[in-house]
Chains A and B, each alone.
Chain A
Amino acid sequence: MIQLRQKSSLFGALLLGVALFGIGCKDKEEAKPSGTGKTGETTDTASRGNTVTGDTIKIGEYGSLTGDNSTFGISTHRGIQLAIEETNAAGGINGKKLELISEDDNSKAEQAKTVVQKLVSNEKVIAVIGEVASSRSIMAAPVCQDAKVPMVSPSSTNPKVTAIGDYIFRVCFTDDFQAVVAAQFAWDQGYKNVAVFTDVKSDYSKAFGELFAKKFKTLGGKVAAEPTYQSGDVDFKAQLATIKGATPDAVLIPGYYTEVGTIARQAREVGLSVPLFGGDGWESDQLIPGAGIALEGCFFTNHFFSHDMTEPHILSFIAAFQKINPGKQPGALDALGYDAAKVIIEALKRAKSLDSVALRDAIAETKDYQGVAGKITLDANRNARKEAVLFKIVGKEFKIFKSYRPEQVGL
Chain B
Amino acid sequence: MQAFLQTLIYGVETGAIYALIALGYTMVYGVLRLINFAHGDVYMIGAFVGFYACTQWLPFKDLSQHPEAAAVNIALALITLFLSMLLCALLGITIERFAYRPLRNGFRNADAHFWGFVIALPVTAFVGAMSTTKRQGALLFAGVVIGFIMRPVMAHLTKRIKPSSSRLNALITAIGVSLILENGGINVFGADPKFIPDILPKRQFSLLGVEFNSSRLIILIIAAILMAVLRYIVLYTRPGKAMRAISHDIDAAKLMGINTDRVISFTFALGASLAGAAGFMVAAFTNIKVVPLFGLQPGLKAFVAAVLGGAGNIPGAALGGLIMGVVESLVASRYPQWRDAVAFILLIVILLVRPAGLLGKNTAEKV
Contact of B289 with A293 in the complex, beta carbons under 8 Å: no
Flag whether A99 is at the interface (Cβ < 8 A): no
Q: Does A227 contact B (CB under 8 A)?
A: yes
Q: Which of A229-286 contact B (CB under 8 A)?
A: 229-230, 232, 234-235, 237-239, 241-242, 245, 258, 261-262, 265, 268-271, 286
Alpha-carbon distance between A230 and B340 when the two chains are bound, in angstroms: 11
Interface residue B14 (Cβ < 8 Å from any Cβ of A): yes
A286 and B288 form a contact (CB under 8 A): no
A290 within 8 A of partner (CB): yes
Q: In the complex, which of the residues B192, B194, B332 contacts A235, with contact meaning CB atoms closer than 8 Å?
A: B332
Specify which of B6, B7, B191, B204 is in contact with A68 (CB 8 Å cutoff): B191
- Min CB distance A294 to B, Å, is 9
Q: Chain B: how many interface residues by the 8 Å CB criterion?
A: 32
Q: B1-39: which have CB < 8 Å to A?
A: 3, 6-7, 10, 14
Q: How many A-B residue pairs have CB under 8 A?
A: 84
Q: Given the complex, which residues of A lie within 8 Å of B289, measured CB to CB?
A: 234, 258, 261-262, 290
Interface assignment of B164: CB less than 8 Å from any CB of chain A: no
Contact A238 B191 (CB under 8 A): no
Nearest Cβ distance between residue B234 and chain A, in whole angstroms? 30
> Considering the chains assembled together, what is the distance between the CA atoms of A66 and B211 in angstroms?
37
Q: Once the chains bind, are B332 and A270 in contact (CB under 8 Å)?
A: no
Among A68, A74, A200, A237, the most chain B Cβ lie within 10 Å of the Cβ of: A237
Quick check: B186 and A227 within 8 Å, CB to CB? no
Main secondary structure of the interface of B (DSSP, over half): mixed
Q: Mask for B157-201, Cβ within 8 A of A = 1, else 0?
A: 000000000000000000000000000001000111111011000
B84 interfacial contact with A, CB 8 Å = no
Cβ A66 vs Cβ B190 within 8 A:
yes
- Tell me whether A326 is interfacial, beta carbon within 8 Å: no
Q: B131 contacts the other chain (Cβ, under 8 Å)?
A: no
Tell me if B333 and A70 are in contact (CB < 8 A): no
B337 interface residue per 8 A CB criterion = yes
Q: What 1/0 mask marks residues of chain B from 317 to 346 whose CB sits below 8 Å from any chain A CB?
A: 000000000000100110011010000000
Task: Decide: A271 near B204, CB < 8 A? Known: A262-B289, A290-B195.
Answer: yes
A241 and B3 contacting across the interface, CB-CB below 8 Å: yes
A289 within 8 Å of B (CB atoms) = yes
Q: Are B336 and A229 touching (Cβ within 8 A)?
A: yes
Cα A269 to Cα B216 in complex, Å, equals 10
A sample of 29 cross-chain residue pairs with beta-carbon separation below 8 angstroms, ordered by A number, consists of A67-B191, A67-B192, A68-B191, A68-B291, A71-B192, A230-B337, A232-B297, A235-B14, A238-B7, A238-B332, A241-B3, A241-B6, A241-B333, A258-B289, A261-B195, A261-B289, A262-B287, A262-B289, A269-B211, A269-B213, A271-B204, A271-B211, A286-B195, A289-B194, A289-B197, A290-B193, A290-B195, A290-B289, A292-B287
B residues with CB within 8 A of A: 3, 6-7, 10, 14, 64, 186, 190-195, 197-198, 204, 206, 211, 213, 216, 286-289, 291, 297, 329, 332-333, 336-337, 339
Q: What 5 A-B pairs have minimum CB-CB distances, sorted nearest first?
A: A70-B192, A238-B332, A289-B195, A66-B191, A290-B195
